[in-house]
Chain A
Amino acid sequence: MSVKSKILILAQHNGVAINQGTAKAITAAMNIPDCSIDLAVFADDTSTIAAEAAKLANVGTIHAVTTTDENWKLAQGIAPKIAELATNYTHIFGPSTTFGKDVMPCVAALLGQNQISDIMQVIDATTFKRPIYAGNAVITVESTHDKIVATIRNASFKTADMTSGSASIENHTIDNAQTDTKFVSLQAGNSERPDLQTAAKVISGGRGLGSEENFELMYNLADKIGAATGASRAAVDAGYCPNEMQVGQTGKIIAPDLYVSFGISGAIQHLTGIKDAGTIVAINKDADAPIYEVADIGLVGDLFKIVPELMEKL
């Protein structure tokens, strides 16, 4: 096989583990015929995380780039190095997470290319499908650029094998680290529940919950069945739950096997975030709520009666 497409994927991690979005980007890349796949991983100390990255299957080389002062978290801290590494590649992919969305357009600009955002399907090495208008339309985009810079929509691809790989590790450093942007702090959410973006089951609440206290019902039910918790924009705006729980056009786009929504009416911006879910269950007191248009199973009723009953029967 002669390699026609050389693909570089920006790996995302939290210092300890590789984010599954990286493995999904690998799956997307493998849809490109005759390709080779390498990874770039940035960290102040790359020793642990580069070894983790090397376990991802179908990857040839890990470019492990050592940064200083937590620059690996910052777009301006890493984009120039990615653009430099890109010299030897035809495609540069990143996950369509807040991390990838922050960094990849900088890489595209440095390379003088437009970016293809949120690839949901690979047609061939230069043609891709992506959603626009909150998923109300899908476009087929063809690139004639020298290099294709893109982000990969998490919900559209399965997680590639993250354990059986044996990539080689090549070490790099950054000269002239930037100092105009500094990482200050991260206020992280609950880490005991499964990650919303990759969970098999999600329990999600909307404005119908009515208060932050009532949102406990969602957390309890989620813990009962081992699910992650999500929310509509209305619930986050109302302060019932933290921002990282928001599902939808501008929040997280997810594809769990099971999505159970309580008190969510189903604005189009929310529905775009759950369209790829296996089974959608909607529970709402309004029988005309748009959420029922996409739900596989609908139950009309008072969530404050239904949740306790579910707690008992699940």
Chain B
Amino acid sequence: MKILVAIKRVVDFNVRVQVKPDGSGVATDGVKMSINPFDEIAIEEALRIKEAGKADEVIVVTIGNNSAQQQLRTALAMGADRAILVESESSIQSLKAATSLLNIVQKEQPGLVIMGKQAIDDDNNQTPQMLATLWQRPQATFVSKLEINGDTALATREIDAGLETIEITLPAVVSTDLRLNEPRFVKLPDIMKAKRKPLDIINIGETIEGFFDKELAIKNYEPPQARQKGIMVETVDELVAMLKEKGLI
């Protein structure tokens, strides 16, 4: 079985982004870029499935500009076997991403597609579900435990009510939640080795023939409303008195 892992290059999770003063976007110049943390978990899970002898090949794919090669190389250094860059100069929205990924899926015929449940830049949480739908295969979203058993998988999902377990018939799409695993650190010799692993580049146009693109228009960016500065109290008595005054207890 092949596993396809879809990743996205995003502003590093430690960076606190700022909205540009003219409201045209967020400032990303010179900002550290990384693999979306949920996608890093997806890579790790794919590698563990392969290491357990349940998959033969891990292919990592991203849609992005040429700089996204860096993130693909990192994934190769973690242990992925080969990489595909679907090159797009402009950023794209979820339906186009899912349509493009479907094309890769149809070429590669993976038994499993794993990706992060959401990208921490646009926080959309859509592409895995859209890919599953377009592919007409099952999805298991927000997964914190995954057990592959031949042509089915048991997936435990982190949902609002607790932990839900579902059984999916493969091939299927899995989206990862935080507690699925802890991604490994990349070692220096692996970075050197990763440079020799195959990385194919194709233009996004080749993957979305006939797709009629309807983008949602982003009219404006603004910073969130700031909360008013609070006050510090010295004792529990003061705290209790204030909460009583506000009628909260």
Q: Which residues of A contact B (CB under 8 A)?
A: 14, 73-76, 79, 97-99, 101-106, 108-110, 112-118, 127, 131-145, 178, 180-189, 197, 201, 225, 233, 236-237, 242-244, 249-250, 252, 257-258, 268-269, 275, 278-281, 292, 294-300, 306, 309-310, 313-314
Residues of chain A with a CB closer than 8 A to B228's CB: 296
**B162 engages A189 (CB within 8 Å):** yes
Mask of B210-225 contacts with A, CB within 8 angstroms, 1/0 = 0010111111111110
Bound-state CA distance A76–B19 (Å) is 37
Mask of B170-191 contacts with A, CB within 8 angstroms, 1/0 = 0010000111000000000000
**A281 engages B239 (CB within 8 Å):** yes
Bound-state CA distance A140–B221 (Å) is 7
Flag the segment in B61-69, B78-86, B133-141, B196-204 that touches A.
B133-141
Bound-state CA distance A232–B157 (Å) is 19
**B141 engages A102 (CB within 8 Å):** yes
Bound-state CA distance A257–B49 (Å) is 45
The contact of B177 among A134, A250, A310, by CB within 8 Å, is A250
**A299 engages B236 (CB within 8 Å):** yes
**B162 engages A244 (CB within 8 Å):** yes
Q: How large is the interface on B (under 10, 10 to 19, 20 to 34, 35 or more residues)?
A: 35 or more
B56 within 8 Å of A by Cβ? Answer: no
**A141 engages B232 (CB within 8 Å):** no
B52 within 8 Å of A by Cβ? Answer: no
**B216 engages A143 (CB within 8 Å):** yes
Bound-state CA distance A140–B177 (Å) is 28
B207 within 8 Å of A by Cβ? Answer: no
User: From residue B13, how far is it (CB to closest CB) to chain A in Å?
Assistant: 8
**B218 engages A297 (CB within 8 Å):** no
**A108 engages B121 (CB within 8 Å):** no
User: From residue A206, how far is it (CB to closest CB) to chain B in Å?
Assistant: 15
> A106-B130, A138-B222 in contact; A117/B123 too (CB < 8 A)?
yes
Q: Which residues of B contact A (CB under 8 A)?
A: 11, 13, 16-19, 26, 38, 93-95, 98, 117-118, 120-127, 129-130, 132-134, 137-142, 144, 154, 157-169, 172, 177-179, 212, 214-224, 227-228, 230-240, 242-243, 246, 248-249
The contact of A109 among B11, B95, B164, by CB within 8 Å, is B95
Task: Give 6 closest A-B pairs by Cβ, nearest first.
Answer: A105-B129, A109-B133, A105-B126, A109-B130, A296-B230, A98-B159
**B219 engages A142 (CB within 8 Å):** yes
**Given A133-B123, A136-B26, A244-B158, 13 other A-B residues pairs in contact with their CB atoms under 8 A:** A76-B133, A76-B138, A98-B159, A99-B160, A101-B125, A114-B216, A117-B126, A131-B123, A136-B19, A140-B219, A141-B216, A182-B167, A269-B13
- Interface of B, secondary structure class, is mixed
Residues of chain B with a CB closer than 8 A to A236's CB: 179
> A102-B141, A197-B160, A243-B179 in contact; A137/B130 too (CB < 8 A)?
no
User: From residue A83, how far is it (CB to closest CB) to chain B in Å?
Assistant: 9
**A109 engages B163 (CB within 8 Å):** no
**B17 engages A109 (CB within 8 Å):** no
Most buried by A among B18, B125, B165, B169: B125
**A98's closest neighbor in chain B, by CB?**
B159
**B249 engages A275 (CB within 8 Å):** no
**A186 engages B161 (CB within 8 Å):** yes
Residues of chain A with a CB closer than 8 A to B162's CB: 186-189, 242-244
Bound-state CA distance A141–B140 (Å) is 28
User: From residue B33, how far is it (CB to closest CB) to chain A in Å?
Assistant: 14
Bound-state CA distance A109–B71 (Å) is 27
User: From residue A312, how far is it (CB to closest CB) to chain B in Å?
Assistant: 9
User: From residue A265, how far is it (CB to closest CB) to chain B in Å?
Assistant: 14
The contact of B214 among A138, A145, A300, by CB within 8 Å, is A145
Residues of chain A with a CB closer than 8 A to B249's CB: 201, 225, 258, 314
User: From residue B181, how far is it (CB to closest CB) to chain A in Å?
Assistant: 12
**A115 engages B166 (CB within 8 Å):** no
The contact of B227 among A185, A243, A275, by CB within 8 Å, is A275
The contact of B139 among A75, A133, A137, A252, by CB within 8 Å, is A75
User: From residue A273, how far is it (CB to closest CB) to chain B in Å?
Assistant: 12
**A295's closest neighbor in chain B, by CB?**
B230
Bound-state CA distance A75–B136 (Å) is 12
> A115-B94, A297-B231 in contact; A137/B239 too (CB < 8 A)?
no
**B166 engages A183 (CB within 8 Å):** yes
**B144's closest neighbor in chain A, by CB?**
A243
**A144 engages B223 (CB within 8 Å):** no
The contact of B243 among A136, A139, A281, by CB within 8 Å, is A281
Bound-state CA distance A234–B140 (Å) is 24
**A244 engages B224 (CB within 8 Å):** no
> A75-B129, A250-B178, A257-B248 in contact; A186/B232 too (CB < 8 A)?
no
Residues of chain A with a CB closer than 8 A to B129's CB: 75, 102-106, 109
